[in-house]
Amino acid sequence: MAIHPTAKLDPNAIVAPSAEIGANVQIERYAQIMANSIIGEGSIIGPAAVIGEHAVIGSKNQIMARTSLGNHITIGNENVIQQDVVIESNVRIGNENLLMVRTFIGDNTVIGNRNRIHIGAVIGHAPQDIKYKNEKTSLQIGDDNIIREYASIHRSTSLDHPTIVGSNCFLMGYTHIAHDCHVGNNVIMANFAALAGHVHVGDRAFISGGVMIHQFVTVGRLAMVAGNGRFNMDIPPFAMAAERNQIWGINMVGLKRAQFPSNTIVEVREAYRIFFSNKAPRYELLQKLKERAFLSAEVQELIQFLENSKRGICQGTLHPKAEEEENPSC
């Protein structure tokens, strides 16, 4: 057993002989440190907390009472893990994260830096897929996300294709991200919004409260999805989508906040008018868009999205006044 002379161990704590305890570590009563684990300098292990085998805990972490950490986990520096948190095996957590009371982190989850995960969130639990047979699969979460109370994010059904949540996302209370989803950066999901399996969400999309999105749907970059909508078709980038598979116009507020040049906004709006105000077949409408020779990269992005859609595109029911609303029907 390697215990630094400045470490403080409660007499009722249990530390395996093969564990390494760094300088100024505090291990409180009834805490258990299992075999071959390393506790870094200045960390605090709270009462009745359990640290599994081969765990590597960095410096200045606060691991509070009754928390259970599995085997082969790696935790960086200056994290706060509150009471009754459960972290399963083979988890990697970066630096300066906050995991609030009763958070659950499932096997093979990777969490970056400075995330704030609120009370009762379920992160990296097994996928809800009847084909899943307890294979090793994973979830990857980036940096600086806010994941509010009782949100759930499930790991993938294949180890080669993890569920992914990017960085700077705000996932509000009771939101759900199912297995194999890919959620980009700066995405907002309001309360009770839910993504079924294999959904892809582009950067800076806003999914309002109560929205339900069917499996394999793609939501484009900077799309705004209005509250309580239901979607089983693809939502293009820059769209204002609402109700049941309807496109009301472009996300004017979002484009302005993203500081799109006015000429780009004009082109995107015109491209939407051509495509969504006409009932001709998709290939004819795409040809019209290409013939106009739009200059902006954003219109080219829109055209590529429309060409590549496998589920079909939501139907146009344009409402120009809705484009100026902050959060229509949220």
Tokens of 327: 């959060």
Q: Is 161 a catalytic residue?
A: no
Tokens 């893990």 found at: 81
Q: Is 197 a catalytic residue?
A: yes
* Cα distances (Å, whole numbers) of residue 165 to 86, 161, 276: 20, 13, 31
Tokens of 93: 């957590």
Q: Is 4 a catalytic residue?
A: no
Tell me how many degrees the CA angle 136-138-139 measures, rounded to the nearest 5: 165
What amino acid occupies position 196?
A: A
Helix (H) or strand (E) holding 139: strand 139-141
Catalytic pick from 112, 197, 210, 254? 197
83, 66 contact by CB (below 8 A): yes
Report how far residue 304's alpha carbon sits from residue 8's, in angstroms, rounded to the nearest whole number.
Answer: 61
**CB within 8 A of 204, min separation 6: which ones?**
184, 185, 186, 187, 221, 222, 254, 258
Tokens of 241: 């989508």
Tell me how many degrees the CA angle 316-320-326 measures, rounded to the nearest 5: 105
Q: What is the separation, in whole angstroms, between the first and last Cα of the chain?
A: 58
Of the candidates 52, 94, 40, 86, the one whose C-alpha atom is nearest the C-alpha of residue 67 is: 86
Report how far residue 71's alpha carbon sits from residue 92's, in angstroms, rounded to the nearest whole number.
Answer: 11
What are the strands of the beta sheet with 92-93, ordered from one edge?
Answer: 2-3, 20-21, 38-39, 56-57, 74-75, 92-93, 109-111, 139-141, 163-165, 182-183, 200-201, 218-219
* Cα distances (Å, whole numbers) of residue 12 to 9, 30, 95: 8, 5, 29
Catalytic pick from 143, 180, 203, 234? 180
Residues marked as catalytic = 179-180, 197
